[in-house]
Chains A and B, each alone.
Chain A
Amino acid sequence: MTGSHSIVPDTDAAPKCPFHSPESVFEGSTPLVPSEALGALRDEAAAVPFLYSDAHQGWLVTRHSLGRAVLEDPRFSMYPRRMPLGPSGGHPLDIDDRAIHSVHDADLLSLDEPQHGKLRRTVLGRFSVRAVRGYQEAVQEIVRSQLVHLLEVGSPADLAAEFAQPISARTHCFVLGVPDDQVQKFISLFVDKSTSQQKWDFVREVIELRRDNLGDDVISDLLGSELTPTEIEGVLFVLMVSGRDSVAYMITTGTHILLSHPDQAALLRDDPALIQAAIEEFMRYGTMFVTLFPRTALEDVELENVLIRKGETVSVSPVAANRDERRFEDPDVFDVTRDSFGHLAFGHGQHGCVGQQLARLEIRTALGAILAEIPSLSLIEAEQSRPLPWASDLPTYEAGSLVVEWNAA
């Protein structure tokens, strides 16, 4: 197909754009204070017509109940995935043929069942509640050493760069099975900037290093599975690029929330056991995903009196759903004693975050250490207090720097 996409019928019959654009809905949104427009749309309807930035029309789901229903309904497909909300409208294919093959076979974020489930099941055992309990000591040690590092850097410091990012990167490497001497390279490629091809090359190098030295880790499990080499590379690529930045985001944002709510921080300090359940409230209140990956209806679907026609695109907004007063009383209040389970911050359904138990452990351990070890911590400046560009092609919040100070002991 050729031709311009800008031809718009110039007649009175053309609708006066009842559709809401990403700019109009999300403008001004920040992690602690979602845009007012998003709240207004949630009051208007459970799903509102949405005009994606590539000009196709679909739905933005704003309420919790419908969001949950869409995410667990197999009549919605992850493929073909649209990422029309990003700044650039797509990337050049700057990866080799083998990587393209891996994306096609094993991109967990754009596959449906049964292929998606087949791939997911090869790694599930490493992320169960029980498996994650086994990582507790290692994560505590990583958090402890990064706390020492932060204190050595000295007040004031950027907690995002000196504490949150390294904790998530080092834990990611530990669980995946990236050898210790490759961790710095992982950070330079996946935390700092690099090309897609450099990331794919690293995935293949690490797999080769592990092949001769199998261990108790995700890569070793993948190598022992029935998956093809390109599937193994594809799954590992997804796991390497997913979850790491979102954990760092949540440790940063969680600290920002703590420093902005001293009464709630005091509750957690007085009763450290509270943090186990309170992590859900941090996730709910500081949700990173303004929308999840869009889904496409495979047939006409009617849910909660909303008719989504076959072929239409649907984007669920966890940020909106987690502030839905129909599900959470006084949703704009951060309250560590509330029951926040059931939030959609990890997504939901078959494509819900596979590493969510590990994420909980990391965030809980990191925030617990901050509360216990640096009681004098206070905020100088949170970059995320003002709107920042999205962190990815999806509308997701960027953690930004978090400059903090404390009294040296």
Chain B
Amino acid sequence: MQITVNTPACVGAGQCVMAAGELFDQDDDGIVMLLEDSPDAAQQAGARRAASLCPARAIKIAE
């Protein structure tokens, strides 16, 4: 699995950090930071959940 984030689209709602805090954080301006772009098997459900909850559809996942 490969995660990419579209930072210009990010609206800073923080849903991804709530869904998968080990994969996503927000920088000092509240914009998404990808901590890990290739999640291991145990983290993949969290990654999918973050992508589905993102209000800006700023998280893309390639399986």
* Docked CA distance A125–B18 (Å): 16
The answer, yes or no, to whether A210 is at the interface (CB within 8 Å) is no
Say yes or no: A350-B11 contact (C-beta < 8 A), given A129-B18, A342-B52.
yes
Q: Which of A54-62, A259-267, A352-360 contacts B (4 or more CB under 8 A)?
A: A352-360
Give the chain B neighbours of A353 by CB distance below 8 A: 13
Say yes or no: A356-B53 contact (C-beta < 8 A), given A128-B30, A341-B19.
no
Give the chain A neighbours of B17 by CB distance below 8 A: 128-130
Say yes or no: A121-B19 contact (C-beta < 8 A), given A349-B11, A350-B56.
no
CB contacts under 8 Å to B, within A338-365, are 341-342, 346, 348-350, 352-354, 356-357
* Docked CA distance A159–B19 (Å): 32
B13 touches A356 (CB 8 A): yes
Secondary structure at the A interface, as helix, strand, loop or mixed, is helix
The answer, yes or no, to whether A124 is at the interface (CB within 8 Å) is yes
Give the chain B neighbours of A352 by CB distance below 8 A: 11, 13, 55
Q: How large is the interface on B (under 10, 10 to 19, 20 to 34, 35 or more residues)?
A: 20 to 34
The answer, yes or no, to whether A144 is at the interface (CB within 8 Å) is no
Among B25, B29, B49, B55, find the residue whose CB has the most chain A CB atoms closer than 10 A.
B55
Partner of A128, one of B14, B55, B57: B14
Say yes or no: A125-B30 contact (C-beta < 8 A), given A342-B53, A349-B11.
yes
The answer, yes or no, to whether A274 is at the interface (CB within 8 Å) is no
B11 touches A129 (CB 8 A): no
Tally inter-chain residue pairs, CB-CB below 8 A: 65
Say yes or no: A348-B55 contact (C-beta < 8 A), given A341-B19, A357-B14.
yes
Contact with B along A112-133 (1 / 0, CB 8 A): 0000010011001111111110
A124 touches B29 (CB 8 A): yes
The answer, yes or no, to whether B39 is at the interface (CB within 8 Å) is no
Count residues on chain A whose CB falls below 8 Å from chain B CBs.
Answer: 25
* Docked CA distance A127–B57 (Å): 19
The answer, yes or no, to whether A72 is at the interface (CB within 8 Å) is yes
Contact with B along A290-305 (1 / 0, CB 8 A): 0000000000000000
A129 touches B14 (CB 8 A): yes
Min CB gap B54→A, angstroms: 9
Give the chain B neighbours of A346 by CB distance below 8 A: 13
Give the chain A neighbours of B52 by CB distance below 8 A: 342
A-B pairs, top 3 by smallest CB distance, nearest first, are A124-B30, A124-B12, A128-B26
A and B contact pairs by CB, cutoff 8 A, 12 listed: A72-B56, A117-B11, A121-B29, A124-B31, A127-B14, A129-B21, A129-B26, A349-B11, A349-B56, A350-B11, A350-B55, A354-B12
